[in-house]
Amino acid sequence: MLSTRTVPSWQVWECPPAPGIVNMATDAALLASVGPDMAVWRWYSWARPTVSFGRNEQIKGRYSAESLARSGFDAVRRPTGGRALLHDQELTYSVVLPVARQIGWREPYRAISTLLLEALREVGVPVESAPPRLGQRPDGPVCFDAPDAGELLLHGRKLVGSAVWRQDNVYLQHGSILLADRQGDLADAADAPLPPVPPAAALNRVAGAEQLPALVARLKLAISHRLAAWNESTALPLAFAPNDTLLQQIERETSQFSRDTWLWRR
């Protein structure tokens, strides 16, 4: 558990579907705006199938605007690290929280992974944490082709992909919990041949299409209960409401994330 001295108050922000540029701009704005007395767990989804690339991922010669458009995908570069990921039919979260300088990024990463593991098991998804022997810095071009240490597996396959970034005293983590597996479609969206993308895990292997919405709702509630425990409270976390300052920051970040010089810089 994260120390409440480090994270005084968690809030939850449920966002409607949005374009990838807006989703990344919102997380970047939170990263730039969160104060020492606030942490935000944000749920969101994507208005269109979107490929996101890691902050420093090399994509020139592998993908192009034309190849992605032919596949019907939008594209965006994340403020976090990691590798290419297709966002479609997934439950997406971001976490933004203050972390003291003396605390390494692995502490919040482990805490959030443990929270997700416990919540998923509570709702009947038998996930396991990827051991270090599977977590040797994957060097493939696709996020879900291999698990990093601490990422969550379902029947040996990666269910939750995550990426992080730390900026001064603030930590950002992105995560994708697959509802259905479309990661293999990334191969068709590439200009250059990619190694075969192994199947990923997905929640539709645990619950049918009719049961998925109820499973997602129970998972969100299980996570809110754990955030309440981190708040040392029995009350569920407050709903986050963006103020005018944050909304203005989102507009500025949207301009940045929409630039080709950011998306295609590597």
What domains are there in the chain, each with its CATH number? 10-263 (3.30.930.10)
User: What are the distances in angstroms from CA 212 to CA 37, 90, 157, 170, 205?
Assistant: 35, 11, 19, 33, 10
Write the single-letter amino acid at 239: A
| 144: pLDDT strictly greater than 60 | no
Alpha-carbon gap, residue 127 to 160, rounded angstroms? 10
Q: 63 with 97: CB under 8 angstroms?
A: no
Task: For residue 18, give the DSSP letter.
Answer: B
Query: How would residue 8 be classed by pLDDT, with cut points 50, 70 and 90?
Result: low
For the question of whether the overall pTM of this predicted structure is more than 0.75, the answer is yes
User: Is 15 marked active-site?
Assistant: no
d(CA 8, CA 112): 16
Residue-wise pLDDT for 237-254, tens only, equals: 999 999 999 999 999 999
pLDDT for position 145: 57
How far is the C-alpha of 200 from the C-alpha of 213, rounded, in Å?
Answer: 20
Residue written as token pair 């997406």: 92
Catalytic residue among 143, 160, 172, 215: 143
Q: Determine contact, residues 114/151, Cβ cutoff 8 Å.
A: no
Quote the tokens at residue 14: 């449920």
Relative to beta strand 238-239, strand 10-14 is parallel
Q: What is the pLDDT of residue 2?
A: 56
Beta partners for 177? 91, 160
Tell me which of 2 and 68 has the higher pLDDT: 68
Q: Which residue has the higher pLDDT, 6 or 190?
A: 190
Range from 1-10, 126-135, 195-204 carrying the lowest mean pLDDT = 1-10
